[in-house]
Amino acid sequence: MRWLRIAAISLFGVACLGYGIVAGRFELFPFNQSRAVFHALRQAVARPERVGPQLPLEQLTEEEQQQLEALGYLPSYAPAPKQSGVVLHRPELSAGGQVLYVSSHAPEAWLVGFDGEPVHTWAHDFSSACPEVELDSDEAWRVGFWRRARLLPDGELLAVFDYQALLRLDAHSGLLWARCDQYHHEVSIDAEGNIYALRRERRRDPRIHEELSFLDDWIDVLGPDGTRLHSVSVAEALLDSPYASHFARVTEGWLRADGDILHTNAIKLLDGRHAAAIPAFRAGNVLISLRYFDLAAVIDFEAKRAVWAISGMWRKPHDPTLLDNGNLLIFDNLGRSGRSQVLEIEPTTQQIVWSYPGERSSNLLTECCGAAQRLANGNTLITVSQSGRVLEVTPAGEVAWEFVNPHQVGDQIAALWDAFVVDPLMVRSLPPQ
């Protein structure tokens, strides 16, 4: 009988092993899909081309997502498509104009017409802009591209090496100045030419944790020549406001992972046109987006505190903009059941008055980055960063123009970080290249 017991135990072991393999293959009980995705992504960091939007990040826990997001942006996310450049153009619906974009293929900015033909380019590498900076091996990838570029009069350009430097170039890509500090994501320009820029700095604050440090974001005001004039801490502006409760989300594990608890990814200077409806929107205040708090907030720069904030209708947002009609336009990365969407929200009632894509469409996904710009004819330009696409859509949701990034990283499409239609006056001032 002993041999029967041994045979039964062996058979049971083989059955358990077989079921384990089947469960892992077909995601049956007790398979932990989020944990499997997490480990698969971690292993794929060495091969970025294998990390793509098809992996269900929304199934991870918040702490697991934070650990993965700390790995930073990847240069490519999907195989290069067969067609690139302008793949759709309906002139009768389109606003037309010229588009400035930056992508992950190189530290360059491209200005193209709606026919896809290049009009002007700018390029400048990090090492010649910041020759005294020695990068750690885990930071070197950040200087392979610009995260953001902004066109200025006379063809000058501001370019951001994410968390590494802010550059000002002339129309021929000559370096006018560089601030080799942890500037990141976005810049905004006032009427005097002063530059509002985001900068990161590691520090401690006992209101957040007695011992562990965190990465704070600062709003710097720089003069046209790059001289720093003023600075405001985003963390302190929130902690000294009615919105300090958002810090209750910060865990010790989050701080130990990398401490990037805010991840401020947008800054827009307000002009005061809508201050009568909402006093917080007065001229000189700044609108920011905090990805990890799922928050859009307004900072009073003089009082150095948050005076307005809104959340709850999106997840991991980017690029909030106050429109001419007083509504808020924002790119919602993961709030639509793990998909992306663009929302227009009436800020006093917090009602969604427009969205893209519509309820029956699910063709929009970028887990990181993304942008939306309302155009003069009422259309909206949408940057779908991970798939390297730009869409112009009408208020009715029709696609009037579609552009696919022609640049590649290996056999992958280069991620498109940002694209926007430029002011025609800026284009007229461009000298011949």
> What is the C-alpha separation between 147 and 145, in angstroms, rounded?
6
Residue 68 has pLDDT above 80, yes or no: no
Per the domain annotation, does 76 fall within a domain? no
* Cα maximum dimension of the chain: 94
Residue 372 has pLDDT above 90, yes or no: yes
272 with 239, same domain: the answer is yes
What was the pLDDT predicted at 64?
A: 58
258 with 176, same domain: the answer is yes
What was the pLDDT predicted at 18?
A: 47
22 with 105, same domain: the answer is no
Query: Hey, which residues does 341 pair with through a beta bridge?
Result: 332
Residue 340 has pLDDT above 80, yes or no: yes
158 with 46, same domain: the answer is no
Per the domain annotation, does 227 fall within a domain? yes
What was the pLDDT predicted at 433?
A: 77
48 with 87, same domain: the answer is no
Could you tell me if 270 and 282 are in contact, meaning their C-beta atoms sit under 8 angstroms apart?
A: yes
Q: What is the per-residue pLDDT across 70-127, written as a single tens digit (0 to 9) for each?
A: 556 788 888 888 899 999 999 999 999 999 999 999 999 999 999 999 999 999 999 9
Per the domain annotation, does 433 fall within a domain? no
Mean pLDDT of 126-135: 94
| Number of domains composing the chain | 2
Range of the domain at 275: 83-428
Strand order in the sheet with 228-233: 183-189, 195-203, 214-222, 228-233
Q: What is the per-residue pLDDT across 309-330, written as a single tens digit (0 to 9) for each?
A: 999 999 999 999 999 999 999 9
Residue 221 has pLDDT above 70, yes or no: yes
Per the domain annotation, does 287 fall within a domain? yes
Mean pLDDT of 347-373: 86
Total residue length of the chain: 433
Spatial CA neighbour of 74 closest among 55, 54, 49 = 49
Tell me, what CATH number does 95's domain have?
Answer: 2.120.10.30
Q: Which residues contact 303 (CB under 8 A, 6 or more apart)?
A: none
285 with 365, same domain: the answer is yes
Mean pLDDT of 143-165: 96
CB atoms within 10 A of CB 227: 11
Lowest mean pLDDT among 40-49, 299-308, 369-378, 382-391: 40-49
53 with 105, same domain: the answer is no
**pTM for the predicted model, two decimal places:** 0.85
The model's confidence at residue 336, banded by pLDDT at 50, 70 and 90, is confident
Instruction: Summarize the chain as % helix, strand, coil (round to 5).
Output: 20, 35, 40
Which of these three, 39, 69, 99, is where a domain ends? 69
What was the pLDDT predicted at 37?
A: 43
Residue written as token pair 């009082």: 303
> What is the C-alpha separation between 387 and 207, in angstroms, rounded?
40
137 with 24, same domain: the answer is no
The model's confidence at residue 147, banded by pLDDT at 50, 70 and 90, is very high
What was the pLDDT predicted at 42?
A: 40
Say what percent of the chain tops pLDDT 70.
82
Q: What is the per-residue pLDDT across 244-274, written as a single tens digit (0 to 9) for each?
A: 999 999 999 999 988 999 999 999 999 999 9
What was the pLDDT predicted at 283?
A: 96
Residue 57 has pLDDT above 60, yes or no: no
